[in-house]
Structure 1
Amino acid sequence: MVNLNPQDWTTGEVEVSGGRLAYHRTGGLGPPLVLSHGLTDNGLCWSRLAEALAPDFDIIMLDARGHGASSPPGVDGVTPDMPGRDLAEAIRGLGLSKVVAMGHSMGGRATAACAADHPDLIRAVILEDPPFIPPMDAKAATQRVERFRKQVGQLRGMTDAELMALVRKQSPSWQPPELPAWIASKRQVDPGALPILPKPWQDDIRRLRAPTLLIHGDVALGSMVSPEAALEARRLNPQLRALRVSGAGHNVRREQFAEVLLAVRSFLAEA
């Protein structure tokens, strides 16, 4: 039975090294589709896309470590720099293999790392505007961590009304279904949840063996994938297709939902 109503989705936890990841699942007899969210979001930030794809897939929306209802970073010496490993362990822990995996932003980097390191687990990859940026030196990384901690503290100190005003000001094109999960996620994110991502993004893209769709927006609107980076990704991996969605920035599906949904469905029909 396919649970098209989000109120009927199941919730659970899966063990990973030094902790656990929470998840929401639509169920159904379709192939598994594992969704990994971006920084400061949670699994339910995928709800709009999950509702659209639920008739055809068994969708698992994970809360990353330090986000949502998952374990905080740093448990038992585990650092927040292991999102790819967390994803692989969660897929195995749920008894899955040959899944379709889609990730946004940091979740995109985690998805690429997992698919590169564990090709047996993932049969198709979709990356929504992953941060294709150079690794930072130690000083820049430390400064970024401090900025992130400050940002999280500010977000967690805001009321729901203040968060609603903020998202409507920053992202006026987002539709109402996107907003409740976004607001809730800002209450849940841990100040230490920022992955450092020490290795170049090219390392994982080069090693991907599964068909891959890279979806990105316009740099002028906030996309973290430049046209040059998209071309380099295609050069590094001939199985990768790149789609630039005009009128979108970093949150491509939230800003141009219909075009992203069509692209995802078309890609998965062939993958």
Structure 2
Amino acid sequence: MSDTPWRKGWVEVAGGRLAYHRTGGSGPVMVLAHGLTDNGLCWSRLANALQDRFDMILLDARGHGESARISDGPPHDPGVDLAEACEALGLVAPIMVGHSVGARAALDFAALRPDGLAALVLEDPPLLPLLDAAKTERRRLGFQQDVEAMQALSDDGLAERGRQSHPTWDEGDSPAWRSSKRQVDPRAYPEFQRPWQAALAAVTVPTLLVCGTVADGSLVKDDIAAEASALNPRLEVVRIEGAGHNTRRENFPAYLDAVSNFLSRVTGY
């Protein structure tokens, strides 16, 4: 996947295995769950910034990176994948940080394992209603077509698409982004089983919802943020100016300050 100095490994989950990179070290364990079509190494900038404080696990979700492909049968549950991976790795109450669909999976994990985390960070999760079967199938088909079209691009074409779609990103975020687009399974569109409201209400650990502004593309509208705050008194909400859905990629210094300060307060590290 990369020439990083971090240790590379795989962990067995039901129906396959998930790939990961791990920074190591003596600090508390932090599991990083990436967004749709990304891979674990898309967290590299954050991992480089925090690896002296935390033992960070950059996980490839099912159907992404070098993890198992999507198999026939019932849809996979990303929250269950996270739970099984943490159990197989022998992790006891890690910190979990997720972005987008990875944040939604991390939220489900926190609800499934109320005592299984030390803290939770959700970067611009899609806090949206569950879809019915027909809408889910349309979304899945559209996603498959988009991925296949992207993977048909030349390397130069893919790089140009990245520059046009994300002109404000640091260049250091681009290599992992491009690599991840080559690796994603066109059938990797997830289907969540639990309403986000029920999942959030069940979370028992300090939680940070960090997102950009709606004007810049954040998925977390003000009414959703207010509903989330009302559902769980342990939730803090921080909006990052000059950033949208890819909050850390669009204003990394402000994102890093928000996450770092939150973790220092709630974990002591």
For Structure 1 versus Structure 2, the TM-score category normalised by the shorter chain is: over 0.9
Gaps of 5+ in 2: none
Alignment partner of 1:61 is 2:58? yes
Once the two structures are superposed, residues 3-25 of structure 1 have per-residue CA deviations (whole angstroms, 9 ceiling, x without a partner) of xx972100000000111000000
The percent of aligned pairs where both chains have the same amino acid is: 50
From 21, 24, 34, the equivalent of 1:24 is: 21
Q: Secondary structure at the match of 2:147?
A: helix
Structure 2 vs 1, CA of residues 78 and 57 (structure 1 numbering), >3 Å: closer, same or farther? farther
Alignment partner of 1:12 is 2:9? yes
Report the more deviating stretch, 98-107 or 152-161: 152-161
Tell me the equivalent position of 1:127.
122
Offset at residue 162 of structure 1 (A): 0.9
From 218, 243, 251, the equivalent of 1:248 is: 243
Tell me the equivalent position of 1:71.
68
Q: Secondary structure at the match of 1:186?
A: helix
| Cα distance in structure 2, aligned partners of 1:22 and 1:139 | 32
Tell me the equivalent position of 2:256.
261
Letter in 2 for 1:66: G
Runs of 4+ in 1 over 3 A off after TM superposition: none
Offset at residue 103 of structure 1 (A): 0.2
Letter in 2 for 1:156: Q
| Cα distance in structure 1, aligned partners of 2:71 and 2:116 | 26
Report the more deviating stretch, 8-17 or 138-147: 138-147
The answer to whether the Cα contact below 8 Å between 2:9 and 2:20 also exists between their aligned partners in 1 is yes
Report the more deviating stretch, 95-104 or 195-204: 195-204
Offset at residue 78 of structure 1 (A): 5.3
Alignment partner of 1:114 is 2:109? yes
The answer to whether the Cα contact below 8 Å between 1:97 and 1:122 also exists between their aligned partners in 2 is yes
| Cα distance in structure 2, aligned partners of 1:58 and 1:160 | 33
| Cα distance in structure 2, aligned partners of 1:37 and 1:26 | 16
Tell me the equivalent position of 1:157.
152
Report the more deviating stretch, 213-222 or 226-235: 213-222
Gaps of 5+ in 1: none
Tell me the equivalent position of 2:78.
83
TM-score (structure 2 length as normaliser): 0.96
| Cα distance in structure 2, aligned partners of 1:255 and 1:169 | 14
Letter in 2 for 1:268: L
Letter in 2 for 1:178: D
Tell me the equivalent position of 2:166.
171
Alignment partner of 1:239 is 2:234? yes
| Cα distance in structure 2, aligned partners of 1:255 and 1:13 | 30
Once the two structures are superposed, residues 226-260 of structure 1 have per-residue CA deviations (whole angstroms, 9 ceiling, x without a partner) of 11101110000000000111111100000010001
The answer to whether the Cα contact below 8 Å between 2:115 and 2:204 also exists between their aligned partners in 1 is no
The answer to whether the Cα contact below 8 Å between 2:108 and 2:194 also exists between their aligned partners in 1 is no
The answer to whether the Cα contact below 8 Å between 1:18 and 1:78 also exists between their aligned partners in 2 is no
| Cα distance in structure 2, aligned partners of 1:93 and 1:144 | 32
Offset at residue 74 of structure 1 (A): 2.0
From 29, 36, 40, the equivalent of 1:39 is: 36
Offset at residue 185 of structure 1 (A): 0.3
Tell me the equivalent position of 1:216.
211
The answer to whether the Cα contact below 8 Å between 1:103 and 1:128 also exists between their aligned partners in 2 is yes
Once the two structures are superposed, residues 190-231 of structure 1 have per-residue CA deviations (whole angstroms, 9 ceiling, x without a partner) of 011111224321111111000000011122222111111011
The answer to whether the Cα contact below 8 Å between 2:80 and 2:109 also exists between their aligned partners in 1 is yes
Q: Secondary structure at the match of 1:122?
A: coil
| Cα distance in structure 1, aligned partners of 2:216 and 2:54 | 31
Q: Secondary structure at the match of 2:96?
A: strand
